[in-house]
Chain A
Amino acid sequence: MEQSLLTLIFGVMAALLIGLSIVVVTSRSVFRGAIALTAALGVVAGLFVLLGADFVAASQLLIYVGGIMIIMLFVVMLSQRPRDHMDRQTNEQWVWGALFSLAVTCALIVQFRAVYRGIFATLPPAPTTASVGRLLLGDMVIPFEAVSLVLLAALVGAVYFGLSKKERGR
């Protein structure tokens, strides 16, 4: 019973995620697309919970939904007007793009079905905060520090690009 319940939840989330993703790439209004992406990221966080990665799920919500997407919406609001969604939003290579992405998807699915069929979870999900913390400051400490450097660089870069030309001169 518990297993079928989980499968049901997964099914609902998968359908939601696929639907929202399609909205993201096809919506005429970029703002609505961004909202759909936000919801999709929330669903991904739900999938993480289903996979027993509670800390990652919370990080996903905190950083993606509460941070990145807000900046994204910010930029959408600054660069668009509410009536911009009258414009066509896809370029002329959309047929080739669709075919290519379909091909990639099919190839991936075939490959995944061939290699990873019928592998079931061996351990029930358990809280992972402590182990993720030990991993990040233990085995992964060098990448961890490297990422902090990348973040600093990104911060400086963002501030630089964010300044207008006049302010850059100063």
Chain B
Amino acid sequence: MILSLHHFLMLSAIIFGIGIYGALTRRNILGVLMSIELMFNAANINLVAFNHFLYPERVWGQGIVIFVITLAAAEAVVGLSLVLSIYRTIKSVYTEKMNILHG
């Protein structure tokens, strides 16, 4: 068996599905954030795989992945500082407790 594009795509689909499951069902807001990271990575695998198999002479896919990683970093930093801020106010990291709009 020789590796082809759809192997990678299937893997990324599975990871994406797991990520959706986590994002929908985790009670802990950190778990939700981590699931979102999983979904980002599924997309990244797709981008690099398309780049490698369909347009190997150019690197646009990889360039976009760099952007995704950078934005994920920005997202994580802001998200996590929000989580800490919320944790300080309501002393909990569970999403169902986060039902007030002001701290």
Contact = CB atoms under 8 A, between A and B. Distances in A.
Whether A and B touch (Cβ < 8 Å) is answered with: yes
Interface of A: 3-4, 6-7, 10, 14, 17-18, 21-22, 24-25, 30, 33-34, 37, 40-41, 44, 47-48, 50-53, 55-56, 59-60, 63-64, 67-68, 71-72, 74-76, 78-80, 87-91, 93-94, 96-98, 100-102, 104-105, 108-109, 112-113, 116-123, 125, 128, 131-132, 135-136, 139-140, 143, 147, 150-151, 153-155, 157-159, 161-162, 164-165
6 contacts: A3-B3, A7-B2, A21-B38, A30-B28, A63-B73, A154-B78
Interface string B1-25: 1111111111101111111111011
A147 B67 contact: yes
A166 to B, nearest CB: 11
Contact of B80 (A72, A104, A136): A72
Main secondary structure of the interface of B (DSSP, over half): helix
B34 A33 contact: yes
Interface string B27-38: 110110111011
Contacts, number: 258
A92 B81 CA distance: 27
B21 A101 contact: yes
B77 A59 contact: no
Given A18-B18, A24-B22, A135 B63 contact: yes
A91 B26 contact: yes
Contacts of A159: 81
Given A108-B13, A155-B77, A59 B88 contact: no
A116 B6 contact: yes
Interface of B: 1-11, 13-22, 24-28, 30-31, 33-35, 37-38, 41, 44-45, 48-49, 51-54, 56-60, 62-63, 65-67, 69-78, 80-85, 87-88, 93, 95-96, 103
A108 B8 CA distance: 12
